[in-house]
Structure 1
């Protein structure tokens, strides 16, 4: 009967043979120092010559310095015992938190993104053809549960892949101990009488994976004795179905016109697709101009719902931040509004004269004669004689307007109306020598606001000033 250590070694040996991994090419090893990665390194050290192993530890700076220093020291000692050097990849303090904020995700996701980025870069520089990680059967179970209850796609339910080619750096990512449980790997290390490092955060329930590990998987494993094997089978099936759907999606996209500035497709064609393919098609369309950023499933679902359910025949636009889906009868155009330096500044020589000014970028500004009972009571009315050197221009970051409730920054006002930052420069403001007179935010779904000093009892000559743009109806969807 095989011992636990021999069983782990045999599984790793079989994995390398089954997937035709050349043992005379350099392989990078992601080494956290925990029992799982130490068990992986122990097995590889028995199957490879030392100079073919490139062992890497990623320093995230998410725990106390004293703990991290002790961990690195222990990891160096263990690597020295195995005859391989340890390469420490330092991400820098605060970088994970900054990445989480910019990516609008959690710390776990940001740390994972930066970790793999650093590992791939180091593997490329070290001439590694492979990168091995210590993902195991417990990781696969936890990942499946997370993605299942997060409503992930069929393809995503494949979870932790056995191996994957990373095209951008020509490296194959491999998981040699995916068939081993955490307990099996830990016992393997114990048989070698080696001490591994413990991440203090593993015992906390601040992270989703830890909550699942501590509260959900234990009862599952106690009830279903063959849970690891069943999960391996199901993730394999999900992967096969996901691959089939990907092939079908690729074929569907032949009917879509992709260009640098927008993507065009037929609405009737989209609704004729199998429902199983619609999310995947929309995901590919959205990601084409937004590659590298996280795409929310809720955004995809709202786009799909609008295309399937909205019945008005007139043209309409759906917007979410910088994203636009414009529909004119059967023609759908998807594009992303890129932030630009576009601005305008026009002297308003005759503010009491009826006129329409083209401000560019599809924005119009109009002045009309005052009516006591206007059809639109939200239009701003003011005494044009009070204006001194009136100028109509774009919003500037330092702009403030004195309202009845106090002075506020215009950019803060626009943000309160949920107007995206990239649209702020297209919002007209009226200024004179004494400061801001009015902000015209209605064209992006906000409110037009008039400075307090112009709300005093009005003189006889009144003027309606209002802004509008010539886009078709827009509704914010996220």
Structure 2
């Protein structure tokens, strides 16, 4: 007997059983705040979570909509989300971004503001986690954007199902579902949703990648394949991070007289270059002033290469990087300390 042909699930609604499996890790949360923009993805997430949360023993559910104040229609859309939440029996809050808007980088600034507002509302309402409706399509777009920006393995692991923003968790339970299935879920339930015109605005990078998705899919780079790549990179990232943490512990030396972080760099140099860079990045993160960043991965790679070259040559080296002063002595000991305040017109020499 021949096997039945496989059914294309790309545009079928998410079933209660599938939703239950996706939400299984959320049962222990003190409370869930679901971020609802009013688009089909977040409306579907809201409805699925509302059904799931009705079972006794599940965490209380609340919803919030962020009005960024960037479109005149946003306030009315937020009110409609409130009406939808009332029909589902979910308490709802509208959070307004009242701060002055930057002239450049508006989407990134709006994203930071959105998470800040949501985290504040989660704390205020006693919710331990914020649930967002990021999908497999969002994951694919994120991967392509990071690839174009030169990200390393950590960046190519894409969005993670759970991250933290201070004391609040950010959970993304729908990362394994394509957007078409969430649209189908909202439609099957007769739930009204809006489509944000900025999602197709070519001024924004994510929208440009979204427009390329059909052509990429024709060449085999569809959302499912990119999502699998992100999962595989995430698996490698976990292994590499664990190895780097063990190596850092083994290479750490007693602190210097001024509290310098000191590493046995000669011992570290026996590791693969990827581990060297990860240990160096972690050490810099410990020593650098809060808020500093080494920026693009290429800068860290160049710094690591210079340190390794100096070690092989038996030379001492001193470099200012990432808000830190790195000093490698001829014995192969690397000391890192926070850079002091620079005087105007004076820049520490690098070698």
8 A Cα contact 2:33 2:61, kept in partner: yes
Q: Distance in 2 between matches of 1:279 and 1:321?
A: 14
8 A Cα contact 1:316 1:326, kept in partner: yes
Q: Distance in 2 between matches of 1:328 and 1:284?
A: 20
Give matches, 1:465-476, under 5 Å.
474-475=349-350
Measured after TM superposition, the shift of residue 273 of structure 1 is 1.8
Q: Distance in 2 between matches of 1:294 and 1:320?
A: 9
Measured after TM superposition, the shift of residue 231 of structure 1 is 3.1
Note if 1:181 corresponds to 2:178: yes
Note if 1:221 corresponds to 2:141: no
| Alignment length (residue pairs) | 334
Note if 1:423 corresponds to 2:318: no
Measured after TM superposition, the shift of residue 294 of structure 1 is 3.7
Give matches, 1:216-295, under 5 Å.
217-224=213-220, 227-254=222-249, 255-257=251-253, 261-288=259-286, 289-295=288-294
Measured after TM superposition, the shift of residue 4 of structure 1 is 5.7
Q: Distance in 2 between matches of 1:123 and 1:85?
A: 12
Q: Distance in 2 between matches of 1:320 and 1:75?
A: 47
Could you tell me which runs of 5 or more consecutive residues in structure 1 were left unpaired when the two chains were aligned: 101-105, 340-421, 425-440, 446-470
Could you tell me which runs of 5 or more consecutive residues in structure 2 were left unpaired when the two chains were aligned: 1-6
8 A Cα contact 1:11 1:177, kept in partner: no
Query: Could you tell me which residue of structure 1 aligns to residue 68 of structure 2?
Result: 60
Question: TM (normalized to structure 2)?
Answer: 0.83
Note if 1:33 corresponds to 2:38: yes
Query: Could you tell me which residue of structure 1 aligns to residue 200 of structure 2?
Result: 203
Give matches, 1:115-194, under 5 Å.
115-164=114-163, 166=164, 168-169=166-167, 171-194=168-191
Alignment RMSD: 3.0
8 A Cα contact 2:244 2:279, kept in partner: yes
8 A Cα contact 2:13 2:182, kept in partner: no
8 A Cα contact 1:27 1:131, kept in partner: yes
- Report SS of the residue matched to 1:89: strand
Bigger RCO of structures 1 and 2 (CA < 8 A, at least 6 apart)? 2
8 A Cα contact 1:137 1:178, kept in partner: yes
Measured after TM superposition, the shift of residue 3 of structure 1 is 11
Structure 1, residues 300-334: CA drift from partner, whole Å, max 9, x if none? 12211211224765544222474322233223222
Q: Distance in 1 between matches of 2:93 and 2:47?
A: 17
Give matches, 1:298-313, under 5 Å.
298-310=298-310
Structure 1, residues 132-182: CA drift from partner, whole Å, max 9, x if none? 110101011111222223222223322122234x3841x443222222211
In proportion to residue count, which structure has more strand? Answer: 1
Note if 1:49 corresponds to 2:47: no
8 A Cα contact 1:75 1:197, kept in partner: no
Structure with larger Rg: 1
